[in-house]
Amino acid sequence: MILTIIVFLIVLGILVIVHEFGHFIIAKKTGVKVEEFAVGFPPRIYSKKRGETQYSINAIPLGGYVKMLGELEHSKDKRAFENQKPVVRFWISIAGVTMNIILAWLLLTIGFAVGMSPIVSDPASIPGKKLSSEIILADVVKDSPADKAGIQAGDIALSATSDGVLTEFSTLDQFDQYNTDHKSKVVIYGLKRNDELVTKTATLSDDSDSQIGVAIIEKAEIRVPWYKAPYVALRETYRIAQLTFEFLWAFIAKLFTHGQFVEGVGGPVAIYTYTGLALKAGVMVLLQFVALLSINLALINILPFPALDGGRIVFIILERFYGKKVVKEHIENIIHNIGFGLLIIFILAITYKDILKLFQK
């Protein structure tokens, strides 16, 4: 438990620092005065001032912020955020999201170069050396030969025996071909279930399309040549972002039309739980988990909602389009403060739901 807490705090810290560093470094490079760089939200635990910037570590590790002169208050200083050109403010605002995408890409690049399973891509599409492979029975059709035999979703197919002949599986094609070749026959399947070896006997159907009645996926650990790993990781990052965006769109649609949460949405408690699971599964799985969180953080922050980076970018784009500020500075700040309050309420609601789930288990 202590190790999980430590890793959980490290993971959150990395995600926040990388995100806020994006804002920080672009602000510094464009001459904007940065008053504070903070990890976590107050109360403050530690603080040290270097140059004109205060560096702080705060007690609530659920975010962070970069406080720039003229960001939340009016200032006539030429180095204030509000006095910069819209294009400068745009790049500062989007830099955090960009850094989170870059972090995910770098982590996946390392993972593929060392050897790991793709998260969303078909293993067959990854140009590398297959280090290991597992055939996972992802779903079992009701009343199918597999269902009647007691095969369960999540079982891993290792081998099959028919007429005294043992066949071991290493690819999806082998599994499919074996079932096709043995339709209408009695087959004893060797399976791995929750780290235990089990056997199940099934009488296959003579159906040419589905002899056993399972949906299968291949979990393959693949090592990609170092010079190809960045491209493969970029492709994987794009695909994860695409699927995450589709999920977020469905979540927002259901939230605002039915007032309901889509299953699978989690807050800090869920992240803590999954951090523990990823830690048990190994370094590569933890690496993948951090990459997924980083992409999620990026896409959530780019949403056009007040207080998020996307909300600030909307005002900047409107200003650029109309050639002047559409909303006065103090009104915009009020909108962002309201948005921040709503986000806190939302996080608390998600956390409450996650805690209820823990007790229900």
**3-class state of residue 51 by DSSP:** coil
Question: Which residues have a catalytic role annotated?
Answer: 20
Collapse the DSSP code of 313 into the 3-class scheme (helix H, G, I; strand E, B; otherwise coil) and give the result: helix
199 has which bridge partners?
190
Beta-carbon-side half-sphere exposure of residue 177 (alpha carbons within 13 Å) = 8
Could you give the residue ranges of the DSSP H alpha helices within the chain? 2-29, 86-114, 145-149, 172-181, 229-258, 268-281, 283-301, 309-322, 329-360
Cα–Cα distance for residue pair 186/175, rounded to 1 Å: 15
Residue 304 carries which DSSP code? S
**In sequence order, which residues have a C-beta less than 8 Å from that of residue 173 and are 6 or more positions away?**
none
| Structure-derived torsion over alpha carbons of residues 117, 121, 124, 130, reported in degrees to the nearest 10 | -10
* Residue 126 three-state SS: coil
Both tokens assigned to 117: 């399973």
Residue 73, SS3? Answer: coil
The answer to whether the CB of 261 falls within 8 A of the CB of 248 is no
Give the C-alpha separation, 337 to 340, whole Å: 5
Peptide bond into 225 cis (omega under 30): no
Q: What interhelical angle do 283-301 and 2-29 show, nearest 10?
A: 50
